[in-house]
């Protein structure tokens, strides 16, 4: 089956939906998403979206906070673009129907999170992402030029490779003509041709055993671009959120938003002692990389599986008003946060690197854009400042739409693309091969490529990953495709890139901490996979 559209969007989070609403004014838009439309990392974002709204905050302060958090590996021009465009993008979200909490004066009730010098985080209680997703989906579903295909999974990007041409990494004229897409309900693989394709596929938290990301976050966009010979960079910078709820039976890990620490909650050891003063003057509101390493250190010192977050001294009415979801969740497992401390542990949370894009969200592959967590704009550097992710998504989806709406005027579909050839493939009846490999992969990454790394751990990880990759590619080449097999392949590709880039960085910087290179090396710049 073949289908044509002007704009093909892969992913239905804030980046994909924002782009769709703007692109739809210039042509037909198809959004494909591999689960239900609302199932995105956006929906799981609790804390909020950062933007400069009122004095005494300034763009300069937000820029400085972002660069400090990023350990000065940020692209400073990109930081400036993002922050100075933040106010307009917030106004746009409000116009689209997103409701952010306001105080008694009618002004936005701004929160403060780790690494921020001012109150600048807009929120909707502790369900900010869910509220934004609701508003955008409601508007998208009403637009006559946009259609959403749920339970559709992108297998591969279509390039000249599928016309029989040899495509090499670093080649300047690679073009994307759309994607091969698996319709999970019919098990048919569609050829979806597009003048412009946008990747908004989210991050890769599921390369680790414990993650706050939903199950769909399997590095799909990153892996597809890598296989299409695109440029990937800075994947060694995986952000572990310091505080996910310690509840080993639950996946994904339930996030305890940083906003709770901004409200006054305090991190304590298993013995109930404060400890952040030993690591940073900003205490529990230090940047996430510092807090996550501090918690990891304290857990290793005590031999415990978690530390605590103490809210007992805080105003009960305020807690219930601002954090109803967290209160209800903890209560469901027997923890009353007004009387009990919350057991917390770091979990893989955000992919700071990814598909390299420019200031207009263009990849090095022509006709292909990337936005949101799968993209590497240069905003985050070595560590993301809290609540900058949703902001980055709306700023760069806006810029991508501006650029794509102009470029599409000179583009047409490539009609010569062949349909997917599944001849000779057999149904793989041994699901255990996939599930067990996925478990092995996650254990390797968690043990060897986590918060603290070393040369020995990284080498061991690479050796193990190469074997798993070889086995999985063999299975892929002879099997009728399934979502599970394709996700495993993407996870392995992404895990290899994370580990390889971590091995190349001979320093400790931001989210990448190595026992062998405990200090930063000013001579080392960002690492990218483009050779």
Active site residues: 288
CB of 308 closer than 8 Å to CB of 342? yes
CA-based nearest residue to 96, from 4, 214, 17, 3: 17
d(CA 445, CA 468): 13
d(CA 307, CA 330): 15
Give the SS3 label for residue 353: coil
Angle value at C-alpha 114, between 206 and 214, nearest 5 degrees = 20
CA dihedral over 20, 23, 26, 32, signed as positive or negative:
negative
Q: What single-letter DSSP state applies at residue 360?
A: T
With a CB cutoff of 8 Å and minimum separation 6, the contacts of 69 are 115, 287, 288, 381, 383, 384, 385
CA-based nearest residue to 245, from 288, 198, 309, 185: 309
Assign 3-class secondary structure to 99-122: CCCECCCCCECCECCCCCCCCCEE
With a CB cutoff of 8 Å and minimum separation 6, the contacts of 78 are 359, 377, 378, 379
User: Nearest 5°: phi and psi at 168?
Assistant: -110, 150
CA-based nearest residue to 133, from 49, 61, 76, 64: 49
Q: Are strands 152-158 and 178-183 parallel, antiparallel or unpaired?
A: antiparallel
CB of 47 closer than 8 Å to CB of 387? yes
d(CA 157, CA 490): 13
- For 127-155, b where at least 16 C-beta lie within 10 A, e where not — what string? bbbbbbbbbbbebbeeeebbebbbbbbbb
């Amino acid at each position: 089956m073949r289908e044509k559209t002007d704009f093909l969007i892969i992913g239905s989070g804030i980046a994909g939906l924002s782009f769709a609403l703007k692109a739809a004014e210039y042509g037909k838009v198809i959004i494909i998403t591999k689960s239900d439309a609302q199932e995105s990392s956006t929906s799981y974002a609790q804390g909020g979206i950062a933007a400069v709204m009122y004095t005494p905050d300034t763009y300069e302060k937000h820029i400085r906070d972002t660069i400090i958090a990023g350990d000065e590996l940020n692209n400073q021009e990109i930081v400036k673009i993002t922050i100075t465009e933040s106010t307009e993008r917030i106004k746009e979200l409000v116009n689209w129907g997103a409701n952010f909490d306001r105080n008694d004066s009618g002004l936005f009730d701004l929160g403060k999170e780790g690494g921020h010098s001012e109150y600048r985080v807009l929120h909707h209680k502790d369900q900010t992402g869910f509220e934004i997703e609701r508003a955008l989906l409601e508007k998208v579903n009403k637009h006559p030029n946009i259609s959403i295909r749920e339970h559709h999974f992108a297998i591969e990007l279509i390039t000249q490779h599928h016309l029989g041409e040899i495509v090499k990494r670093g080649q300047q004229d690679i073009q994307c003509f759309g994607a091969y897409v698996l319709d999970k309900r019919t098990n048919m693989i569609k050829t979806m041709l597009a003048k412009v394709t946008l990747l908004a596929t989210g991050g890769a938290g599921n390369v680790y055993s414990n993650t706050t990301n939903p199950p769909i976050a399997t590095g799909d966009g990153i892996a597809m671009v890598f296989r299409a010979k695109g440029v990937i960079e800075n994947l060694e910078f995986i952000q572990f959120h310091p505080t996910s709820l310690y509840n080993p039976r639950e996946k994904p890990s339930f996030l305890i938003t940083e906003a709770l620490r901004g409200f006054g909650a305090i991190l304590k050891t298993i013995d109930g002692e404060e400890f952040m003063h030993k690591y940073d003057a900003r205490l529990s509101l230090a940047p996430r990389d510092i807090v996550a390493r501090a918690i990891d250190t304290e857990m290793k010192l005590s031999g415990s599986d978690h530390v605590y977050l103490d809210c007992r001294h805080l105003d009960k009415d305020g807690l219930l008003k601002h954090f109803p979801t967290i209160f209800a969740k903890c209560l469901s497992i027997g923890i009353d946060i007004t009387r009990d401390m919350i057991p917390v542990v770091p979990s893989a949370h955000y992919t700071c690197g990814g598909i390299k894009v420019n200031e207009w969200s263009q990849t090095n592959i022509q006709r292909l854009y990337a936005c949101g967590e799968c993209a590497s704009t240069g905003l985050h550097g070595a560590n993301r400042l809290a609540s900058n992710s949703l902001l980055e998504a709306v700023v760069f989806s806006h810029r991508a739409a501006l650029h794509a709406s102009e470029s599409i005027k000179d583009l047409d579909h490539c009609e010569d693309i062949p349909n997917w050839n599944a001849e000779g493939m057999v149904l793989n009846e041994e699901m255990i091969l996939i599930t067990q490999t996925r478990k092995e992969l996650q254990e390797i990454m968690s043990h060897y490529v986590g918060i603290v790394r070393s040369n020995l751990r990284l080498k061991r990880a690479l050796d193990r990953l190469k074997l798993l990759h070889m086995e999985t590619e063999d299975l892929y080449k002879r099997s009728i495709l399934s979502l599970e097999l394709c996700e495993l392949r993407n996870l392995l590709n992404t895990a290899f890139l994370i580990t390889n880039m971590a091995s190349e960085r001979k320093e400790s910087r931001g989210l990448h901490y190595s026992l062998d290179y405990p200090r930063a090396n000013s001579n080392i710049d960002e690492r990218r996979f483009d050779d």
